[in-house]
């Protein structure tokens, strides 16, 4: 015990660095369905993933992933099952920053879509990766 008292700064540093090492593993559970832009391209090309943009119609019109369907987040509960018939296909949910699409993943899972993903960083990350965007 006297070691801890005499070396409290080293002890505190060890605890802090251990916590920082563990944090990514603890935090990963919140975004376990988050995928990057390159992973979305692979899902689209290899597994025929359906991309659903949960932004407002105005945001969608300013630029979205080529071929994405627009279902605003507030209408997702009612419209997703009618717009996406095959629940076996992967569904990638996209918004401007990734925050709304993370919430949309939970809604899609409640509707029976098991393979749902959120684009990490949203359209900002998609544009940053220089991937194609279309406007209405």
* Other residues' Cβ atoms within 10 Å of the Cβ of residue 46: 9
- Respond yes or no: is residue 55 known to be catalytic: no
Q: Is 51 helix (H, G, I), strand (E, B) or coil?
A: strand
Question: Pick the catalytic residue: 35, 40, 95, 123?
Answer: 95
In the sheet that holds 116-119, the strands lie side by side as 34-35, 116-119, 91-94, 50-53, 69-70
The residues annotated with a catalytic role in the active site are: 95
């Amino acid at each position: 015990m006297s070691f801890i008292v005499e070396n409290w700064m080293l002890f505190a540093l060890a605890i802090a660095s251990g916590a920082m090492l563990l944090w990514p593993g603890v935090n990963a559970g919140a975004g376990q369905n988050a995928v990057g832009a390159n992973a979305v391209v692979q899902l689209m090309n290899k597994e025929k993933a359906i991309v659903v943009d949960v932004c407002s119609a105005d945001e969608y019109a300013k630029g979205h992933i080529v071929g994405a369907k627009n279902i605003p987040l507030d209408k997702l509960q009612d419209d997703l099952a009618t717009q996406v018939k095959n629940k076996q296909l992967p569904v990638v949910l996209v918004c401007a920053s990734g925050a709304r699409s993370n919430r949309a993943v939970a809604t899609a899972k409640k509707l029976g879509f098991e393979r749902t993903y959120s684009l990490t960083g949203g359209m900002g990350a998609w544009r940053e990766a220089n991937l194609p965007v279309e406007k209405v």
